[in-house]
Amino acid sequence: MNLGLRRIGICVTLVLLACIACSSSGYEIGKARVDGNKVGGEIAYELSVNNLTFSPDGRHLVFDFHEFAFEKRRISRSRISIGLYNLKDETVTIIDPPVDPETGFDWHSPSFDPTGRKLVMVTSCITTKCSDQIYGTQIGILDLDNDKFSWITDARDKTYMWNYGYSPRGLRRSSFPDFGRSNVRGYPIFSADGKRIYHMMSAGAKGSIIFYMQFDAEYWLNVIELKGPAAGEDSSLLSYQDDAVIFKGDGRLSLAGNNRLIFSGWRGFGPSIDELDKRQPSAFIYDMGDDELSVAFDKNNTPLDSRFPAVSQYRLRSISASNNESRIAALSGKGDVVSLIDDGNFQSLLKAEDMGIDRFEQVVISGDGQQLVAVPRQKPFEPDDKFLEPNDIWLKDLNSGDWMSLPLKKTLRNAIDALNSAERTQ
């Protein structure tokens, strides 16, 4: 079924709490300035590893991470950094940021280009020390061959957005300008030919990094051309003035073939809303060539989870597809089941309770569809949250069916300690 959606931007408002929840403290990695919970007189802190993505050859995982500690029942955390994990050697390389973290700079949500030689990610800088160009959440590209970093969005550029509302004449669109610095960008990925960047965007409190924190929020799909007359322009997709859809989910995008994107979502707004409510979609496919949207999974081909109320029994999230779309990984239920859709057949691969945890945070599949990584929930929201904080992530060989644990956090901790030791000797 094709919803026939055309070009438009949908302006929405994020909860102001998101900006507060996502704001960074002064806590720096290796500089214990947080008076947090203490164990044996030492600060009790954990590593949080998030947003993992395979390299095209399946040999590396890129991710972002930070340390966190509790201070008077509030979370204080370090700046967000980016690391590269070598699956064969089980080593971590921490990538130097292009801006001094003391300015309040974070970067997160990295992913590879088709060659494996570049990374695209979101940068966040919301203090008075940030330049006008990079203020707020922007998107940049790192060339791994020469460590050169460049921003492809600019906070000084105006971004025109649209809002929908009902009037005596029905659903009407109104447009107004807003500055790029007030937009929230998240989860960028390269197109299959490396000529474009697709990402999610929302219009929230400026400086919020809500996509990193994975709050359930409304957002829309954007594209940035890397070459040609429109290079660097941030354009909204999925639109038509008579039919607008607002999607909710965890915000991640995944390529599904050379010309398609797949992502989770479950709520629509506009003339198609009645049909969407009946089908209860949990994922959509966007065809880049035709600029059209269609339902990928709904209640007719998504496993039922009776633990949910009727309107939420068919939810999928954290969707990740292989390059040829033959295998699609996702989290189902309450994020506690790792599922695989293999040529249209659903399989439950792993349950959180079997690993001694309450839920998974992410599942990602390699481009060749041969490997899958399941990432456990990373951070409690309260100091007394009752769940195990696992140190490993789990890798599955989809050919042999074998699972193995990866000591990513331990390896990352060693890399952090080595980096801090080197800095102290300078």
pLDDT band at 155 (very low <50, low <70, confident <90, very high): confident
State how far the Cα of 377 lies from the Cα of 224, in Å rounded to an integer: 31
**So what's the pLDDT on residue 238?**
65
Q: What is the pLDDT of residues 305-348, one digit of tens each?
A: 888 888 778 889 899 999 999 999 999 988 899 999 999 899 99
pLDDT band at 158 (very low <50, low <70, confident <90, very high): low
**So what's the pLDDT on residue 89?**
92
**So what's the pLDDT on residue 312?**
79
pLDDT band at 182 (very low <50, low <70, confident <90, very high): low
pLDDT band at 382 (very low <50, low <70, confident <90, very high): low
pLDDT band at 212 (very low <50, low <70, confident <90, very high): very low
Number of other residues whose CB lies within 10 A of the CB of residue 385: 11
Percent over 70 (pLDDT), the chain: 71
Q: Which of 63-77, 78-92, 218-232, 326-340 has the lowest mean pLDDT?
A: 63-77
Task: Report pTM.
Answer: 0.82
Q: Where is pLDDT greater, at 293 or 379?
A: 293
The pLDDT of 196-206, averaged and rounded, is 74
pLDDT band at 246 (very low <50, low <70, confident <90, very high): low
Q: What is the pLDDT of residues 106-126, one digit of tens each?
A: 999 999 999 999 999 999 988
